[in-house]
Amino acid sequence: MDTPAEGPGTADIAALIPLVRRIVGARVPDATTADDLVQETLARVLAAAGRVEPGMLEPYAIVTARNVVTSMWRDQDRQRRHQHRVVDLRPPAAPDEDVLAQEDRAAVAEALTRLSDRERATLLAHEVAGQDTRSLAAELGSTAGAVAAQLNRTRARLRVEYLLASEHVEPPTERCRPVLFAISGGDRRRQREVDAARHLLECDLCARLSEPLMGRGRPRDGEVRVPVRADSDIVAARQAARELATRLGFSPTDITLIATAVSEVTRNIVRFADSGEVVVDSLVDPRPGIRIVARDAGPGIDDVERAMRDGFSTYRGLGLGLPGARRLMDEFAVVSEAGRGTTVTMTKWRGEP
């Protein structure tokens, strides 16, 4: 990756942005939709950059922009024409609140039985009877701080057991509960120890249950996590990057470049790995910046150096668009292991205002 990148550079791609914006903006009045189409156009240009003659890049971008807009209108027209076939005009059935409440109580009761006797007794004494941690510590021969820590761990475990009981499922592997407990408690050190990030990419059940549990932790300010499984998640990932870059004061051109790079690495996850995650985070040292980490547990890349060459692509592994995404960012690294997955880390630093 120390070899110089061939093909169009960041300046060449950035120079296309005003042109593409004019073409799209003249046809699409909604600003948010127009931004998405601009980035979709640039993503396609990047993917084809290695196969397009240098002097043909601008005409190719023009044609691509028109095609992207036309495709969007065609899809919307098709949806309008077929809407009557999918709309159910019958009023929704009223929810049976009594049954739902009964099921919820049963799930809580089942979750409580999965705690140890000490955990259950301490939690009920504190939460139901209102006993404070100091008097509990005296009874248990412990300290108030240790009891508070135990209560936090017990609540984290109870949340996990409640979700499992309410869905009537059991974890498929022995790794699941430790991972879910670490996520529920917001314990980042423990999450690293049990390799929670990789496990969530490999286990569909834990990936689904982690979503309500992650809200209990304390994510770093400015950090956004986007699970990636479908094409719609590409839009969500680049929107998250675009919003954070805007808050950090990046120029409109840099925001577009960042969003385009995010589109490329996210598209690779959907196309080649089926599922993964994109993490968008802010940086402050040595100056304001944005970091994007895209990881998956897919087939991996056999030859990373070859995958980073312009024009390389294969439907048996990642590679399409990575060279282009690298040119748009200030720092770019790929770590991959065949059969284990790929992690792409890229950073963009904000220029002086």
Q: What is the pLDDT of residue 4?
A: 41
Mean pLDDT of 249-272: 90
- Average pLDDT over the chain, rounded to an integer: 80
Q: What is the pLDDT of residue 317?
A: 38
Amino acid at 239: Q
Is it the case that residue 78 has pLDDT exceeding 80? no
- In this structure, what DSSP letter does residue 51 have? G
Tokens encoding 165 = 């009981």
Strand 224-228 and strand 276-283: the pairing is antiparallel
Report for 32-46, 61-75, 237-251, 328-342: range of highest mean pLDDT: 237-251
Q: What is the pLDDT of residue 219?
A: 45
Contact 344, 294 (CB under 8 A): yes
Q: Does the reported pTM lie above 0.85?
A: no
Is it the case that residue 313 has pLDDT exceeding 60? no
Per DSSP, helices labelled H in the chain are 10-25, 31-48, 57-86, 97-113, 117-127, 133-140, 144-167, 176-184, 188-193, 196-202, 204-214, 231-247, 252-268, 304-307, 322-328
Is it the case that residue 347 has pLDDT exceeding 90? yes
Is it the case that residue 344 has pLDDT exceeding 80? yes
Q: What is the pLDDT of residue 316?
A: 39
Residue among 234, 236, 258 at smallest CA distance from 245? 258
Q: How confident is the model at residue 255 (pLDDT cuts 50, 70, 90)?
A: very high
